[in-house]
Amino acid sequence: MTSIAKPKIVHRGLRRNALGLTIRDYEGGMSTLCAGCGHDSVTAAIVQAFFELDIPPHRVAKMSGIGCSSKTPAYFLGASHGFNAVHGRMPSIATGAGAANRDLYLLGISGDGDSLSIGLGQFAHAVRRNLDMLYVIENNGVYGLTKGQFSASADVGSKAKRGEENRQPPIDPVQMAMALGGTFVARSFSGDKDQLVPLIKAGIRHRGFALLDVLSPCVTFNDHEASTKSYAYTREFRHRVVNADFIPPREEIKAAYDEGEVMPIELHDGSRVLLRKISKDYNPHNRGAAIDYIRSHHRAGEIVTGLLYMDEGDPDMHGLNNTSRTPLNELPFEALCPGADALASLQRRFR
C-alpha cells in the first residue's frame, strides 16, 4: 500500500471537535490512486465523519482486503491501527478483532472484487453474525488493481473498456445483506458527500453489522459510456429514497422536517438517526417490501440510494454470545485460569 506522508500544517482558524482535534488529525497519507478515482471521495467522507463524531482516532481499527479500494485505509485516520489483510478475508480479521475487543470501532473497507467474489463467503457470514462494524464496499464493477476485469457486481450488458460485454447477472451486496438478515443496509455514491457522511456516522454508531455499498467509479477502467458504474450513469439514474441525518446524543432534533415524513431511530448510545422518506411508497422497516422496491427499480435501471433498511433491535455477535462487558483482551489472567485446585479436582473424572 503505497502512501506518501502528508505535511501536516494546521491553520489556526481550523475548526476543532469536542476532543480538540482538527480535521487534519483524521487524515492519513497522500493517496496514490488515479486522479478522479471515486475511492478518494469516500476517503474524504470518512475523514469528515470521524472528525464530526469526535472519535479518538486510535480507538478505531481500520481494516481492508486487497484492491485499490482496500489501499485507502492508508489515506485516512493516520493515528488508527490498520490491517491490510489478504484478498477477500478482511471480515474474518474484523471478527477476531471484535471478539477480542468489543470496545473498538471497527471499520472495514473493501471492493466489489474483494467482497463479492473471493470474499463472498466471509462477507455473508459477517452479516449473518451481525458483527458490530461498519463495512464499506467501494463498488466500481471492476477489479481496478488487476487492470479492469469485470467483477461480480458488473451489470448485464455493461461493457469493459475494450468493448467486451458482461452477460452474467450481478451480485448486489445490498440485496444480499437484506436477505441475510443485515440490520443496517445502505447505498450511496462516492460523489454525494452530503448523503455519504451521515450514512457513515450512522453506520459507525449502529450496534451490529452496517453495510454501506458506495458506487465509486473507476476512472481508469470503468468510467466510459457503456458502463453502469460510471459517474455519468450513476449521477443520472441514482434515485434517493431515504435521507438519513445523524444526530449525536444530547443534540436537539431540529424541527425542520414535516411530521410523518421523519422517522427518528434511537441508537443504543443515545444518538439518533433521522430517516426522511423521499419516496412515499418506500418502507425502510419492512425487509421484504424494501427488497421488492430495490429489485423493481434495478430492473428499470435505477439505483436506489439512502439508508435502505435499519433495525436497531437485533443482538450483535457479543449479544448472542453473552460475552463479558469487559473486552476479552482486558480480562486479567486470574479471571481466565481456573487454577491448580480446579485442575486437581477436574481430573477425578480421568481416574
Partner 1 sequence: MSQSAQDRVNDFVIKLANVNGTGSASANSLLMKTIFRMGIPVNGKNFFPSNIQGLPTWYEIRVTRDGYLARSGRVDVMVAMNAQTYAQDLADVSPGGTLIYDSTWPRHQLLARSDITILGVPLARMCNERFSNARTRVLMKNMAYVGALAALLGLDRAVIEQLVEETFARKPAALDANREAIELGFAYAQEHFDCPLPTRVEPLDKTSGHIMIDGNTATALGCVYAGATVGAWYPITPSTSVMDAFKSYCERYRTDPETGERRFCIIQAEDELAAIGMVLGASWNGARAFTPTSGPGLSLMNEFLGFAYFAELPAVVVDVQRVGPSTGMPTRTQQSDMLSAAYASHGDTRHVLLLPANPGECFEFAVAAFDLAERLQTPVILLSDLDIGMNDWMCKELSWDPAYRPDRGKVLGADELVDAANFHRYLDKDGDGIPYRTLPGVHPKGAYFVRGSGHNKYGAYTEDSDEYREVVDRLLVKWRTAATLVPKPEIRRHPKSAGWGIVAAGSCDWAVLEALDRLADSGIHLDYCRIRAFPFGKEVEEFLEQHERVFVVEQNRDAQLKALLTLETEYPKQRMHSVLHYGGLPIDCSSIVSAVERAEAQGEAA
Ligand X SMILES: Cc1ncc(C[n+]2csc(CCOP(=O)(O)OP(=O)(O)O)c2C)c(N)n1
The residue (of 51 and 246) whose beta carbon lies closer to partner 1 is 51
Grid cell of 35 as nine digits: 486522479
DSSP string, 53-82: HT--GGGEEEEE-SSHHHHGGGGB-TTSEE
Q: Using the rule CB under 5 A, is 140 a contact of Mg ion?
A: yes
The residues facing 30 across adjacent strands are 4
Which of partner 1, ligand SF4, ligand X, none binds 112 (CB below 5-8 Å, type-dependent)? ligand X
Alpha carbon distance 145, 54 (integer Å): 33
- What minimum distance in Å lies between the beta carbon of 14 and ligand X? 31
Q: Using the rule CB under 8 A, is 125 a contact of partner 1?
A: yes
Q: Using the rule CB under 8 A, is 85 a contact of partner 1?
A: yes
Residues 6+ apart with CB under 8 A from 286: none
Single-letter code of the amino acid located at 99: A
- What minimum distance in Å lies between the beta carbon of 68 and ligand SF4? 3
Q: Which of 27, 40, 52, 112 binds Mg ion (CB under 5 A)?
A: 112
Q: Which of 15, 168, 331, 345 binds partner 1 (CB under 8 A)?
A: 331
299-313: b or e for each residue (b if 16 or more CB lie within 10 Å)?
Answer: eeeebbbbbbbbbee
Phi, psi of 300 (to 5 degrees): -85, 5
- What minimum distance in Å lies between the beta carbon of 153 and partner 1? 21
Binding piece for ligand X, criterion CB under 6 A, among 9-17, 65-73, 194-202, 248-256: 65-73
- What minimum distance in Å lies between the beta carbon of 47 and ligand SF4? 18
Secondary structure letter of residue 129 according to DSSP: H
Secondary structure letter of residue 22 according to DSSP: B
Q: Using the rule CB under 6 A, is 213 a contact of ligand X?
A: no
Q: Are 18 and 54 in contact (CB under 8 A)?
A: yes
Best CA proximity match to 269, nearest among 327, 321, 336, 201: 201
Alpha carbon distance 350, 130 (integer Å): 40
Alpha carbon distance 3, 242 (integer Å): 36
- What minimum distance in Å lies between the beta carbon of 220 and ligand SF4? 4
Q: Are 155 and 299 in contact (CB under 8 A)?
A: no
Which of ligand SF4, ligand X, partner 1, none binds 34 (CB below 5-8 Å, type-dependent)? ligand SF4
Please tell me whether residue 20 adopts helix, strand or coil conformation: coil
Residues in contact with ligand SF4 by the rule CB under 6 A: 33-34, 37, 39, 68, 140, 144-145, 218-221
The residue (of 115 and 283) whose beta carbon lies closer to Mg ion is 115
Q: Which of 17, 22, 84, 279 binds partner 1 (CB under 8 A)?
A: 84
Query: Where on the chain is the footprint of ligand X (CB under 6 A)?
Result: 66-69, 87, 111-114, 138, 140, 142-146, 151
Query: Where on the chain is the footprint of partner 1 (CB under 8 A)?
Result: 1-3, 56-59, 61, 63, 73-74, 78-86, 89, 91-101, 103-104, 121-122, 124-125, 129, 317-318, 321-325, 328-329, 331, 333, 335-340, 342-344, 346-347, 350-351
